[in-house]
């Protein structure tokens, strides 16, 4: 009896539909799918026109692994909940709610349109139906909660969701992009109305048929209670109207996915899967077959297919906008706006009013692909000062939940500007100096090893004798007077610990990391080839460098050019020496310190622990700044910015950072582990007026201070 009762539990599909209405529904549904498919086909044709890189952007054999990684990130929502748990959980609710409701529609359609008419077999009844309904009720509710949380969040106007642009003045056309807000609200409201009308429709149906099992279908059941006493004919009319409203909204939504903000549902997975796992850390070489063409990106046709797709994948979440140190210190750059600017090329719709503006807002800036060969630079496009404001710190790449490669895209824009001579004169002069002398200080190359003359032992020349550790010193550690003190300290520590090490003396060249990030690819290749040739002639086990910028390029970029070695930062080696007892900490220090993660050591290499562990072992008390580890704030030197003068009156990122440090209680030392940080922060401590409150130390100097007192270790 119970089985019989269960078997009758179902819900009629196309209840009271005359045949032509059914036909109309199917025609509209097929039309919706056609519009959807056209919307998918259209950008694919656009991506195919991008000739700045291969498709797929990785070898075919890597595709399964890449797709598996993309799926893991998508289903875990790990990238979305980073630094914003509320948005992460709300998006997760919408994502899973949508997937389950969509799957529910497919399951019902499969029964109604295939298994029942073709095989005479229907599964949409009985216990299957009851479980189906419960699952859809739960996930429908989850979807509504997620959408409501997102809507409430938007009403609070978080800074990262403001579309006001740092590269435009208030009042300028395209300044506030407020029209985008219409598109965002249309998206969440559509989802909400589809989900709510689903529940109301279910409630009307329950009220009409008053089935005994309606109580477990809580969403519809609540609505059904509210409709108690309404006449059968009114309910029937209501149901019919609601059915069409709900159904039409759903198929219009499906059809609109590729054209609106919802497009990220299609593109984000591809972007997450196919992005370079070392995006920003390893910039793309110019393929030999394109060597004769203009370098970098000057038009959309120059873009790689993946980068074109990534322009469409941006959800405008604003996380990169919030994390960008250039934006935070008032420079005319927001990585989000660069992506949107490029996406809108060549027809920026913002600022339009009326129906044009509304359609543009709903279309979320997706360009139609015309004008593909127009320049992306200029007042209606990306401004050169925007491109040159970037520090290539990778904070944007690190935080983007959909895997967009903002910094590499900006780097490609720089390559074109460098080629066209659109660069700061100081920067140009520095590049010429590096080209002539092999270092950014313009020093004679024979002076590169002069810092070692003040030591009372000889530092071996790694080109003349085999060594265990080859020390790639780097420009700043070799030539800058303050950093030379640190360099000599490190040399004494290595000597004291009995490390078999040597340097390249005048054989070393600037590693090219920052030259490449400036966009001077040709000079980078020359420098890299010279270093690789020198290193290849040496006999060593591993490379140690005191410069995180050199560490990045030696580790991540030289292998592609034929130079593949084990490369480590000096803090990793120092930790190894302390933990193995080769350097003995005798005087535990009592300093209260804060530590700044250099972009190229932290975000670029994921090395956060070695410097912190050293500080702990030497007895320092570490007080973290609010922005630490992967959220560390750039000193402002990266991407060649150290060679470009700041605008007068502009806050420098290094001063912004020092203000963060002095706001910590009782911190006396600002500890760094990068020679460029030594220069930037020594200066910023003074210019920000904090010389009385804070002193700078390099990690190496604290290790020396904590060692057994030894005349050999007396400071130079």
The residues of the shown chain that bind ligand SF4, judged by CB under 6 A, are 314-320, 323-326, 333, 335-336, 339, 390-396, 399-400, 402, 404, 406-407, 410
Residue with tokens 């496009």: 381
Nearer to ligand SF4 (CB atom), residue 471 or residue 643:
643
The answer to whether 62 and 275 are in contact (CB under 8 A) is no
In angstroms, what is the minimal distance from the CB of 329 to ligand SF4?
10
Task: State the helix-helix crossing angle for 570-579 and 609-617, rounded to 10 degrees.
Answer: 40
> What is the SS3 assignment for 318-386?
CHHHHHCHHHHCCCCCCHHHHHHHHHHCCCCCCCCCHHHHHHHHHCCCCCCCCCCCCECECCCCECHHH
In angstroms, what is the minimal distance from the CB of 314 to ligand SF4?
3
Nearer to ligand SF4 (CB atom), residue 391 or residue 684:
391
| Cβ-Cβ contacts under 8 Å for 307 (sequence gap 6 or more) | 50, 52, 53, 297, 405, 408, 409, 412
Nearer to ligand SF4 (CB atom), residue 449 or residue 639:
639
In angstroms, what is the minimal distance from the CB of 416 to ligand SF4?
17
Alpha carbon distance 376, 554 (integer Å): 32
Residue with tokens 């040709």: 522
The partner residues of 567 in beta bridges, in order of sequence, read: 543
In angstroms, what is the minimal distance from the CB of 338 to ligand SF4?
7
Alpha carbon distance 97, 140 (integer Å): 6
Alpha carbon distance 695, 689 (integer Å): 12
Nearer to ligand SF4 (CB atom), residue 332 or residue 449:
332
In angstroms, what is the minimal distance from the CB of 694 to ligand SF4?
24
In angstroms, what is the minimal distance from the CB of 395 to ligand SF4?
4
In angstroms, what is the minimal distance from the CB of 311 to ligand SF4?
9
Nearer to ligand SF4 (CB atom), residue 406 or residue 546:
406
Alpha carbon distance 482, 465 (integer Å): 29
Pick from 552, 660, 646: nearest CA to 606 = 552
The answer to whether 377 and 384 are in contact (CB under 8 A) is yes
Nearer to ligand SF4 (CB atom), residue 79 or residue 439:
79
Give the 3-state secondary structure of residue 514.
helix
Alpha carbon distance 601, 612 (integer Å): 13
Eight-state DSSP code of residue 299: B
In angstroms, what is the minimal distance from the CB of 406 to ligand SF4?
5
Element (H, E) at 40: helix 19-48
Nearer to ligand SF4 (CB atom), residue 515 or residue 593:
515
The answer to whether 472 and 545 are in contact (CB under 8 A) is yes
The answer to whether 596 and 681 are in contact (CB under 8 A) is yes
Burial class (CB in 10 A: 0-12, 13-18, 19+), 20: exposed
Nearer to ligand SF4 (CB atom), residue 338 or residue 503:
338
Nearer to ligand SF4 (CB atom), residue 335 or residue 474:
335
A 10 A CB-CB count for 141 gives 16
In angstroms, what is the minimal distance from the CB of 177 to ligand SF4?
12
Nearer to ligand SF4 (CB atom), residue 167 or residue 698:
167
For residue 609 the two structure tokens come to 């622990």
In angstroms, what is the minimal distance from the CB of 403 to ligand SF4?
8
Nearer to ligand SF4 (CB atom), residue 246 or residue 596:
596
In angstroms, what is the minimal distance from the CB of 683 to ligand SF4?
19
């Amino acid at each position: 009896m119970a089985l019989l009762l269960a078997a009758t539990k179902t819900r009629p599909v196309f209840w009271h539909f005359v045949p032509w209405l059914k036909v109309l529904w199917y025609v509209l549904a097929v039309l919706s799918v056609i519009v959807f498919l056209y919307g998918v086909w259209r950008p694919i044709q656009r991506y195919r026109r991008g000739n700045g890189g291969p498709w797929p952007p990785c070898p075919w054999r890597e595709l399964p692994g890449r797709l598996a990684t993309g799926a893991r990130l998508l289903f875990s929502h790990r990238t979305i909940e980073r630094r914003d748990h509320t948005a992460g959980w709300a998006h997760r609710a919408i994502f899973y709610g949508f997937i389950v409701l969509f799957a529910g529609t497919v399951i019902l359609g499969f029964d109604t349109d295939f298994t029942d008419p073709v095989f005479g077999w229907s599964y949409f009844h009985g216990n299957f139906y009851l479980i189906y309904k419960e699952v859809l009720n739960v996930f429908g509710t989850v979807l509504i909660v997620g959408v409501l949380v997102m809507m409430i969040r938007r009403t609070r106007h978080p800074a990262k969701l403001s579309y006001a642009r740092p590269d435009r003045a208030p009042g300028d056309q395209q300044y506030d992009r407020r029209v985008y807000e219409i598109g965002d609200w249309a998206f969440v409201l559509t989802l909400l109305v589809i989900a709510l009308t689903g529940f109301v429709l279910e409630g009307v149906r329950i009220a009409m048929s008053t089935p005994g099992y309606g109580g477990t279908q809580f969403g519809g059941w609540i609505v059904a209670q509210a409709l108690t006493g309404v006449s059968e004919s009114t309910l029937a009319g209501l149901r019919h109207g609601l059915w069409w409203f709900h159904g039409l909204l759903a198929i219009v939504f499906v059809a609109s996915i590729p054209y609106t903000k919802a497009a990220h549902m299609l593109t984000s997975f591809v972007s997450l899967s196919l992005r370079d796992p070392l995006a920003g850390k390893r910039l793309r070489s110019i393929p030999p077959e394109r060597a004769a063409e203009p370098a970098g990106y000057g038009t959309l046709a120059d873009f790689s297919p993946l980068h074109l797709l990534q322009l469409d994948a941006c959800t405008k979440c604003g996380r990169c906008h919030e994390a960008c140190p250039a934006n935070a210190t008032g420079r005319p750059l927001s990585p989000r706006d660069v992506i949107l600017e490029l996406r809108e090329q060549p027809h920026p719709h913002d600022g339009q009013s009326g129906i044009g503006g509304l359609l543009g807002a709903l279309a979320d800036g997706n360009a139609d692909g015309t004008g593909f060969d127009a320049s992306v630079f200029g007042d209606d496009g990306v401004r050169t000062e925007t491109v040159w404001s970037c520090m290539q710190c990778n904070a944007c790449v690190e935080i983007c939940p959909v895997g967009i490669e903002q910094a590499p895209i900006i780097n490609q824009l720089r390559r074109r500007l460098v080629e066209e001579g659109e660069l700061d004169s100081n920067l140009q002069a520095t590049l010429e100096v590096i080209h002539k002398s092999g270092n950014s200080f313009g020093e004679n190359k024979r002076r590169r090893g002069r810092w070692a003359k003040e030591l009372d032992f000889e530092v071996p020349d790694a080109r003349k004798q085999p060594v265990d550790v080859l020390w790639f010193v780097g420009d700043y550690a070799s030539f800058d007077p303050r950093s030379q003190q640190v360099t000599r300290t490190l040399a004494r520590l290595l000597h004291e610990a009995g490390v078999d090490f040597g340097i390249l003396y005048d054989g070393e060249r600037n590693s090219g990391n920052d030259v490449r990030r400036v966009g001077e690819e040709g000079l980078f290749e020359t420098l890299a080839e010279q270093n690789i040739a020198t290193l290849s002639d040496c006999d060593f086990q591993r490379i140690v460098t005191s410069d995180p910028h050199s560490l990045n390029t030696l580790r991540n970029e030289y292998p592609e050019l034929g130079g593949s070695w084990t490369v480590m930062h000096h803090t990793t080696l120092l930790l190894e020496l302390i933990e193995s007892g080769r350097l003995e900490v005798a005087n535990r220090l009592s300093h209260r310190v804060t530590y700044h993660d250099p972009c190229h050591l932290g975000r670029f290499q994921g090395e956060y622990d070695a410097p912190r562990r050293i500080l702990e072992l030497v007895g320092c008390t570490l007080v973290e700044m609010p922005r630490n580890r992967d959220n560390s704030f750039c000193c402002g030197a990266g991407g060649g910015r150290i060679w470009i003068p700041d605008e007068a009156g502009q806050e420098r990122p290094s001063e912004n950072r020092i203000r963060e440090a002095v706001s910590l209680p009782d911190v006396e030392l600002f500890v760094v582990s990068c020679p460029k940080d030594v220069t930037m922060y020594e200066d910023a401590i003074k210019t920000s007026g904090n010389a009385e409150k804070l002193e700078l130390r390099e990690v190496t100097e604290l290790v020396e201070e904590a060692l057994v007192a030894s005349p050999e270790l007396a400071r130079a």
